[in-house]
Copies of this chain bind each other. A is one copy, B any other.
Amino acid sequence: MTYCVGLKLDRGLVFAADTRTNAGVDNIATYKKLHVWEEPGERVITLLSAGNLAITQAVVSLLSEHITSADNDRATLLTAKTMFQVARLVGSAVREVKEIDGEALATSAESFFVTFILGGQIEGEEPRMFQIYAAGNFIEVAEDTPFLQIGEHKYGKPILDRVTRSDMRLGEAAKLVLLSFDSTLRSNLSVGTPIDMLLYNKDTFSTERQVRIEQDDPYFQKLSHGWSEKLRDAFGELDEFDV
């Protein structure tokens, strides 16, 4: 399992992904699920992945290989003109991998399961964010629901539902995302630290606010304990049920 969140806010984008992969609870490992491509000053593209690791790695490798290949006619993540075009490139890469591996997976009774959150900004456009499905098609985030989640999304959704606002500062949003992760980490062993985060400030075309948060990170620890305490206090202040 996996847990990834993307927020599209007025001031930019926030991405977070856990790093746990597992083939059974007795076989876990740490893999990066937050992938970044950039052309400083011109574009920043971020891809979060959930699902079968062999498939997501193949998609990421294909996208990267296309960038360095000699075929200059083909648009790549670094040459596509819009984020919509980038989303289509990712969708095509998913379909390419499905063509190669899909049948063999099916005969092994393995499903072709994969989902991505794609976000970023290309000069001339506003920041945009998409969710890309295993079929290679996708949706774009709209204003009414400014966040996307993939993987184990249920435990961490109530806090996002109640607190997310489009006009949040990115640091506030990052705090929110970490609380959402904290709820998930407590309940699902197949989601695990470290957590990779990227805070992208609109129009900066820079990925300098990228960080990896370990389990014992002092801020994360303090946040988690502080939140539990405040929740209990808030709970105590509400009227008791009486019947």
Q: Which residues of A contact B (CB under 8 A)?
A: 154-159, 161-163, 169, 171-172, 174-176, 178-179, 183, 186-187, 197, 199, 209-211, 219, 222-223, 226-228, 230-235, 237-243
Contacts and interface: CB of A to CB of B under 8 A. Distances in A.
Nearest to A173: B241
Nearest to A176: B235
19 contacts: A154-B154, A154-B155, A154-B187, A155-B155, A156-B158, A157-B187, A162-B231, A162-B232, A171-B241, A174-B241, A175-B235, A178-B241, A179-B235, A199-B243, A219-B239, A223-B239, A226-B238, A230-B237, A231-B234
Given A175-B241, A178-B241, A227-B238, 15 more contacts: A154-B187, A155-B157, A156-B158, A158-B159, A158-B187, A162-B232, A163-B235, A171-B240, A171-B241, A175-B235, A209-B243, A210-B243, A222-B239, A223-B241, A226-B238
A234 B235 contact: no
Shortest beta-carbon contacts, A-B, top 3: A154-B154, A230-B234, A174-B241
A30 to B, nearest CB: 20
A232 B175 CA distance: 12
Contacts of A240: 169, 171-172, 174-175
Contacts of A219: 239, 241
